[in-house]
Amino acid sequence: MAVVSTAEESSCRPGFESESLIFRVNRKHLKPGTRLGKVGFTDCTDRIQFLFNTDDSHFVLNSDGVLIVQRGVDLHEGHQDFFVHSWDSEGNKMTVPVMVLLEHHYESWDAEQHHGGRRHQNHHNTRLDSASIKETAGHPDVAVRYFPKSSNGLRRRKRDWVIPPFNYPENHDGPFPYKIAQVRSSDDKMKMVTYSIMGPGVDEDPKGLFTMDKDTGDLYVYQRLDREKQANYKVLATDADEPGNDNSIIKYTILSQEPKLPNDHMFTIDFNNGAIMVEDAGLDRETYPEYTLEIQAADMFGEGLTGKTKVVLKVADRNDNAPVFIQSTVSTTCVTLQFKIGSDPAGWLKVDEDTGLVTVKSLMDRESAFVKNDTYTALILSYDDDVVPATGTGTLSITLEDVNDNPPFIVERNITVCRDDSTPVLLTVADKDGPHHSAPYNVMVDEVSKPNWSAQMNTDRTGVELVLKSNELSGTYPVILRVSDTGGLEQDCFIQVKVCSCVENERVCAPLRNGWSVKDQIIWGVVGGTLLLSMVLAVLYFSTRERLKERKRYFIIRWRKQPDTQFQE
């Protein structure tokens, strides 16, 4: 299978760096916030941040392409498959398949990919160990494999050898037909080989773009290619030889190793199956985190045609280095700090002078005037033991939770009630506690006030409707009402009520005639009449008494003038 791709002259192609992405992890359960790796994407501009989207809500991508677990996920089947989407500068949507693969499913999944016919794929592979995330480059010419350190050996893994894609400039002027590649059979020196191709651009639309020389395997393009119409073409090249002969027996060798440290024979490759293994001890990620091997494959038992590729080996991190102190001794100066209260408006707090521990010394009240928006603020001062102490100030904000420690009360304490008006008087109920410990309220009339008064709550149960039951009352009366909140905390409220005849349409007492009420006029009239009668009787009494005294004195004088004469009237 060969891939023919058209490209801009700048060789930049918008899209993801690989046709598929694989992130390997060694834990079945992935916690939220776990970073799995980075997805490479470009729109051939200077932008480095893009909008990404996934069709799996367990995962999310940052604008820099970092893939993160958003919701906890269990890899019950050993892997999780989903798609990642992004858009280029022209708004074209691009999609790449993503697989999160559990580490112990690594070999079995690779075997399925190898034997299942999917032999030409460009994967971007990452691996997540218990400490960090590892990324691979995803370059189509470089196969990336991960190896543990030499202490734990190496896992064997087969790989596929594929023909790399051919790049062809967009709108190339020819001349046509223009040779762009050659496909050769390893058996062409021993027998006659006939080459043919099929696929898009050959026997599928758009037909007539490519042909192949049946004798040489040369691939030609017959006209200009437009990348906007189709960015790549896949054509299948075949020969008529039998499989399973000497031409298919391939042998592998390592041509070079970079770096050649700690020696140039750190790895070996199985001559027959191409498995790369660690040959010598000394792998250390902290010193040499990456090795590049140049591998050669040759058919005809290693004596025929050859192909070369590069393999990048990344050494996985292991916890094999104990932490060490850079300095054996460190000099420092210990400063002793002391603490005291700087501002405590309500006097509720105390602070330990040595430890700075703040405790409560008296009951705190959320409804206090010193508490604003449920928060009490105090200042704590600290100072050192220097001759001229250095000081620091810290603000302590204490949020007080509401408790039902304040009973409700009636706001109005002096009211006027019209004797001839049956309309209820609305009294306002208030509570210093928060909304969870206040309304709806309840009200009861005290037994002393029940004969003349009734009360009930209004519709929203936040006010009391007081009603006068008798229109015979006149004057000022005390009324006792018991109000309670939703928690049952209650209080008796004393209301001074003035009952009188009111001005029409107003709750204002009408002025009294001559300053006296009718009742008062009657009372004082009776009192005045009584006093007047008493005065008349007293005058008559004293007048009669005086006349009697005068008459008696006349008779006595007359009798004295005639002592010897008998008194005769």
State the pLDDT at residue 531. 86
State the pLDDT at residue 469. 86
The residue among 448 and 507 whose pLDDT is bigger is 448
Q: What is the mean pLDDT of residues 332-336?
A: 82
Number of helices (H), then strands (E), in the chain: 3, 39
Phi and psi at 545, nearest 5°, equal -65, -40
Q: Give the chain's mean pLDDT.
A: 76
State the pLDDT at residue 228. 57
* Residue pLDDT, tens place only, 138-176: 333 333 333 333 333 333 333 333 344 456 666 667 788
* Residue pLDDT, tens place only, 248-271: 667 888 899 998 888 888 888 887
The residue among 159 and 344 whose pLDDT is bigger is 344
Neighbouring C-beta atoms of residue 60, cutoff 10 Å = 16
Instruction: Evaluate if residue 448 carries a pLDDT over 70.
Output: yes
Closest CA to 259 of 286, 278, 287: 287
The two three-digit tokens of residue 456, written as one number: 């009930």
Instruction: Evaluate if residue 352 carries a pLDDT over 90.
Output: yes
**Looking at residue 558, what DSSP letter applies?**
H
Strand partners, 394: 380
In the block, residue with structure tokens 């776990």: 34
Closest CA to 291 of 146, 156, 161: 146
Least confident of 212-226, 227-241, 421-435, 461-475: 227-241
In the block, residue with structure tokens 């000497």: 246
Pairing of strands 453-457, 442-445: unpaired
As a three-state string, the secondary structure of 279-321 is CCCCCCCCCCCEEEEEEEEEHHHHCCCEEEEEEEEEECCCCCC
In sequence order, the 6+-apart residues with CB closer than 8 A to the CB of 543 are none
Q: Are 277 and 270 in contact (CB under 8 A)?
A: yes
- Name residue 363's amino acid: L
Q: Are 199 and 1 in contact (CB under 8 A)?
A: no
- Name residue 515's amino acid: G
State the pLDDT at residue 117. 40
Upper half-sphere CA count for residue 98 (Cβ side, 13 Å): 26
Strand partners, 81: 99
In the block, residue with structure tokens 């790895």: 267
* Residue pLDDT, tens place only, 295-333: 888 776 667 777 788 888 888 777 767 788 888 888 887
Q: pTM, whole model, 2 decimals?
A: 0.33
Percent of the chain with pLDDT over 90: 19
* Residue pLDDT, tens place only, 519-560: 556 677 777 888 888 888 888 888 787 777 766 666 555 555
Pairing of strands 29-30, 73-74: antiparallel
First to last CA, the chain: 180
Residue 530's alpha-carbon distances to 518, 523, 535, in angstroms, are: 18, 11, 9
State the pLDDT at residue 125. 56
Q: Are 302 and 135 in contact (CB under 8 A)?
A: no
State the pLDDT at residue 129. 43
The two three-digit tokens of residue 251, written as one number: 């042998």
- Between CA 555 and CA 569 the distance in angstroms is 10
Respond yes or no on whether the N-terminal peptide bond of residue 177 is cis (omega within 30° of 0): yes
Residue 220's alpha-carbon distances to 175, 196, 236, 532, in angstroms, are: 11, 12, 14, 147
